[in-house]
A and B are shown apart, each in its own frame.
Chain A
Amino acid sequence: MTEGVTLPNRRPETGAFFQRDRSWHPPAFTPQYKTSVLRSPQKALLSLDNTISEITGPVFGHNILGELDDDLIHNFARPGESAIGQRIIVYGRVMDERGKGVPGALVEIWQANAGGRYRHKKEGYLAPLDPNFGGCGRVITDEEGNYTFRTIKPGPYPWPNGVNDWRPAHIHLSIFGHGFAQRLITQMYFEGDPLIWKCPIVSTIPDRRAIEQLIAPLDMEATIPMDARAYKFDIVLRGRRSTLFENRLEGN
C-alpha cells in the first residue's frame, strides 16, 4: 500500500489541520432523515488539536489501480459492451482549504445505474439492473490534485423515508487526503436537478451555500464531442497549519 509511495517535490507535511467548521457540515441529528435519529451521538464531541495519530494517514500508490478503474462505463462490462445511460465525464481538483492541490489523493466513487438502481443485495427498487454496470470506480489524483472519471449519469431513485422521497441523481465519493483527520465521504449532485431542493439528505446541510458546493456544473468546454458531456466537481479537504512556528518543548 504505502510501500515505496512518495509525493515528489513536496516537503513532508506535519502540521495540524485547521479545525473543522462543524456549522458547514450536517449535524448528527437531523430528524427529516429518519435513520439519523437513532444513529446520532447525543453528547458533545471531545475537541482535540491534532496529534500525530490524526496528522498522518495512509497514502496509496498508483500500483493499486487497474486500467479501467476510472471508467465505470467499461470496468464491469462484458468485453466489447458498455453500460447503458448518458455518458459523462466527472472531473475536478482535490485541493485543501488554502487552495493547494492535493496530489496522490485516493478518490473512490459509487453510484446507481442510469435507472436509479444499485447493484446491491439489499436494494429493492424495481428499476432493472444493467448487466454491464457495476457502479464503483477509483482514481488517484495527479501532481496538481486533478482527477477524472468516465461514467454514466445515475438516475434518481425513491427511498423509504417519507412516503414519496426521491434522491436527486448523485454520485457518492470517498476521499483520502494525506492525514486521517481529512477523511471525508460526500455526494455530488448535478446542476439543474429539481430534486436537490426536495431531498431530506441534502437538507441535513444547514447552509445553502454549502449545498451549492456539492452541485457540479455542466462544463461544455470539457465535453468530448459526440461522446460525453462533462461535469466539474472540485473537492476541498481540510487545510494544514504551517509547522514553522509550532511550539516545541524546550530542548526538543
Chain B
Amino acid sequence: MVQSLNRFKETPSQTAGPYVHIGLTPNFAEIGGVYDADLGTRMVNDKTKGERITIRGHVFDGTGTPLKDALIEIWQADADGLYNSPSELRGTADPNFTGWGRCPTDMQTGEFRFETVKPGRVPFKDGRLMAPHVTFWIVARGINIGLHTRMYFGDEEKANAEDPILARIEHRGRVPTLIAERDSDTYNFDIHLQGEKETVFFDI
C-alpha cells in the first residue's frame, strides 16, 4: 500500500431543469420583492471604458428549435484585457465593468442578449496573445452538465488566425461555429447543441 492522495470527488452535476429562473433570475420569473435585481443583468455603466457592443443569439436543439428555457452566463476581460477577479494579477480591471453577465433566453423567442464592451486580448499560458473572446456557459433542462464554449469576433480576422485555442480545432470547418459575425454594434452568436453546425464545446 501507499499513502492516499486524499482527494475529494467533485460534486456531480445535475440538470438545471425547467425552473432555473426561479433561483438565478427570480425577477425575470416574476418572483418579485426577494432580490432587488437579478444578478448579472448589468455588466456596464456610464463610466465603463471601451467599445460598447451587444451580443445576441439563440441556442438551438437538434431539430433547429430555439431553447426558450435556457440560461446563459458569459465571462470576459475588460477593454484592456484584464479580468475583474481576485485571481487577476496583471493589473486592476476597470471597476466599472463586471466582466460577468447572466441572461435567460426569452420565453417567447429564445433570444439572449448582453450589453457589454469588446474585450481586449489576454495571454495564453505561453505568453502569446489569444484573440479577443467571451467565455460562455450554457445550462437548461435536458443539459446534464453546463456547456462551456467561447465566442470570438468576426472582425478580428488577424487575431483569430493566430489564436492558439482556435488553432487546436482539428476540423477546420467547425471553427466558424465559434465566430460571431458583426452587424453594426451587434455580434450574432448562435449556439447549436447538435447537428451539422454543432458548436465546439470545451472540456476545460
Contact = CB atoms under 8 A, between A and B. Distances in A.
A242 interface: no
A108 B24 contact: yes
B116 to A, nearest CB: 13
B31 A42 contact: no
A126 interface: no
Contact of B14 (A21, A52, A55, A186): A186
A53 B95 CA distance: 18
A147 interface: no
A1 B203 CA distance: 27
A174 B87 CA distance: 21
A209 B11 CA distance: 11
A227 interface: no
Interface string B73-85: 1011100000111
Interface string A166-208: 0000001011001111011111000000000000011011000
Contacts of B137: 180, 183
B143 to A, nearest CB: 5
A50 B122 CA distance: 13
A120 B202 contact: no
Contacts, number: 283
A48 B24 CA distance: 28
Contacts of B19: 110, 118, 120, 122-123, 172
Contacts of B107: 121-122
A135 B31 contact: yes
Contacts of A64: 39
Contacts of B201: 41, 43, 45-46
Interface in B131-150: 133, 135, 137, 139-148, 150
A225 interface: no
A180 B143 contact: no
Given A20-B203, A123-B19, A235 B11 contact: yes
Given A57-B85, A59-B85, A136-B26, A39 B61 contact: yes
A80 interface: no
A178 B87 CA distance: 8
B129 to A, nearest CB: 11
Contact of A69 (B35, B63, B89, B124): B35
How many B residues are at the interface, by size bracket? 35 or more
Nearest to A10: B86
A57 B148 CA distance: 14
A77 to B, nearest CB: 10
Contact of B10 (A57, A97, A121): A97
A6 interface: yes
Interface in B46-92: 61-63, 67, 69, 73, 75-77, 83-89
A179 B85 CA distance: 9
A14 interface: yes
User: Which 10 residue pairs are nearest across A and B when measured between Cβ atoms?
Assistant: A110-B23, A35-B142, A56-B85, A39-B142, A26-B144, A45-B203, A58-B100, A38-B62, A56-B83, A187-B14
Given A41-B199, A48-B165, A57-B87, 10 more contacts: A7-B86, A48-B204, A57-B85, A57-B100, A58-B98, A108-B23, A121-B29, A175-B11, A185-B13, A185-B15
Interface of A: 1-3, 5-7, 12-14, 19-22, 24-28, 30, 33, 35-43, 45-60, 64, 66, 68-69, 75-76, 95-99, 108-110, 118-123, 134-136, 138, 172, 174-175, 178-181, 183-187, 201-202, 204-205, 209-211, 213-214, 235-239, 249, 252
16 contacts: A2-B86, A22-B203, A38-B193, A40-B193, A41-B194, A46-B202, A53-B150, A136-B26, A184-B11, A185-B15, A186-B11, A201-B17, A202-B14, A205-B14, A236-B9, A237-B10
